[in-house]
Amino acid sequence: MSSGSITINDIAKMLGISKSTVSRALSEHSDVNAETRHKVLELARKLNYTPNALALNLKQQRTNTIGVLIPETVNRFFAKAIGGIQRVANLAGYNVMICQSDESFVTERSNLRSLLTAHVDGVLVSVSAETDRTDHFQVLLDKNIPIVFFDRISEELNTSRVYTDNYEIAFEGTEHLISQGCQRIAIVAGPQNLYNSRNRLKGYMDALRKHNLPVKENYIVQSHFRAGSVEDYTRDLINLPQRPDAIFAINDFAAIEMMHVIKKNGLRIPQDIAILGFNNETICRFVEPALTSIDMSAYDMGSEAAALLLDQIKGNREPQKKLIKSRLVIRESTHLKG
C-alpha cells in the first residue's frame, strides 16, 4: 500500500494462497489449477493490478528502456529521427531516454555514464561534433549493452549501424553543380573528425577531379555546426579574388542564411552563385529561389536504428549495417540550364 498500488502479495493474502501461486497464475505458463488461476485473474483485474516495474527491473536486470544519445534536439534531423525511434520502441514496449551532447565530447561521455547508471537495455548514438575517439563506448560494450550508431557513426567499433551514402550524394550533388556549368564550387565542410564530414568532402573532391576541376584550399570552409559564423564565412567566400560560382552548404538553414547574405551583396542566385543545401527541410520550397537540397529520411534512419537495436537486445548478436539512401532534390537555387 506504500505507493498506493496493490501487489502480488496483497492478492495472495486476500485469496489465502501463496504469492508464488499468484505469480504463476498471472504468468500463465505454469501448472496452476484452473479454478485458482481464474480467481487470481479475476481479482487482479478487479483491483486493477499492474506488476511493479521497479521490482521486475531489479529481478530481471533490465528496464525495457533504450537510451538515445544525440547532439541536439533542435537539430531538425535528430528531432525527426527521434520520432522514428519512439514509434518503433513504443510498439515494442520500450521507453526512450534521451540525452543531448550539445556537440560536446565531455557531455557525451557524461551522458553515457547516466544511461549506464539508468541500466538502459541498449543505446542509440549519433556522435558529437567533437568526438574523435571511442573508448567511452567500449565501457558499454564490455557490459554487453548493445549500441547502434546512426547517421554520425563510429567506424572503429564493430556495432550495428545505420548510415547514409554521404560520399555518393556529395559526389552527385557536386556533379549536378558542374552539369549546370559551375566551375568554381566551394563547400562548407563539417568537422573532419566526423566520418560523414570526411566522406562528404571526399565525394566533393572526387567529383571535381573527375571533371578536371582544381580542388582549391580556399574553396573549402570548415564549420562546426554552430550558428553565428555563417555570415562571416559567406562574406569571405564572395570576396575571394576568384569568386565561387556555387556553394555546397552544410545544411539548409545555413544555406538560407547564405542566400540572404549573398543577395544583400547584390549577387543573384543561381546566376552569380548557385546554392546547394542539405536535409531538404520543408522550407526549401518556400524560400526564393527555392533551395536545391539533399533528402535524408531522418525518420526512417531513426526507426531502422531502433529496429536494429531491439534485434541486438533480443540476443541477435550479429551486428548489421544498414544503408539509407539519400536523394538529390533539384530546385531553382541550382537551376541554370535545361
Comparison of 49 and 195: residue with beta carbon closer to DNA: 49
Q: b vs e for 102-118, b when ≥16 Cβ sit within 10 Å of the residue's Cβ?
A: bbbbebbbebbeebeee
Q: How far is the CB of 92 from DNA (least distance, A)?
A: 18
Name which of DNA, a second copy, none residue 141 binds, using a CB cut-off of 5 to 8 Å depending on partner kind: none
Comparison of 32 and 70: residue with beta carbon closer to a second copy: 70
Residue 41: all three cell numbers together:
485473474
Distance CA 337, CA 274 (A): 12
Distance CA 332, CA 291 (A): 6
Closest by CA to 23, choosing from 62, 48, 47, 56, is 56
Q: How far is the CB of 31 from DNA (least distance, A)?
A: 4
3-class SS at 175? helix
- Please state whether beta strands 147-150 and 95-100 pair in parallel, antiparallel, or not at all (unpaired): unpaired
Name which of DNA, a second copy, none residue 235 binds, using a CB cut-off of 5 to 8 Å depending on partner kind: none
3-class SS at 256? helix
Q: How far is the CB of 65 from DNA (least distance, A)?
A: 17
The residues, any chain, with a CB within 8 Å of residue 289's CB and separated by 6 or more, are 269, 270, 331, 332, 333, 335
Comparison of 114 and 179: residue with beta carbon closer to DNA: 114
Half-sphere CA count of 192, side-chain side, radius 13 A: 6
**Binding positions for a second copy, rule: CB under 8 A:** 2-5, 50, 52-55, 57-58, 61, 63, 65, 72-74, 76, 79-80, 82-83, 86, 90, 95-100, 114, 117-119, 142-144, 227, 253, 256-257, 259-260, 263, 282-283, 285-288
Residue 120: all three cell numbers together:
538502459
Q: How far is the CB of 151 from a second copy (least distance, A)?
A: 16
Name which of DNA, a second copy, none residue 24 binds, using a CB cut-off of 5 to 8 Å depending on partner kind: DNA
Comparison of 25 and 187: residue with beta carbon closer to DNA: 25
Comparison of 32 and 284: residue with beta carbon closer to a second copy: 284
Name which of a second copy, DNA, none residue 23 binds, using a CB cut-off of 5 to 8 Å depending on partner kind: DNA
Q: How far is CA 26 from the centre of its chain?
A: 39
Q: How far is the CB of 95 from DNA (least distance, A)?
A: 18
Alpha helices, DSSP H only, in 221-336? 230-238, 252-264, 298-313
Q: How far is the CB of 266 from a second copy (least distance, A)?
A: 14
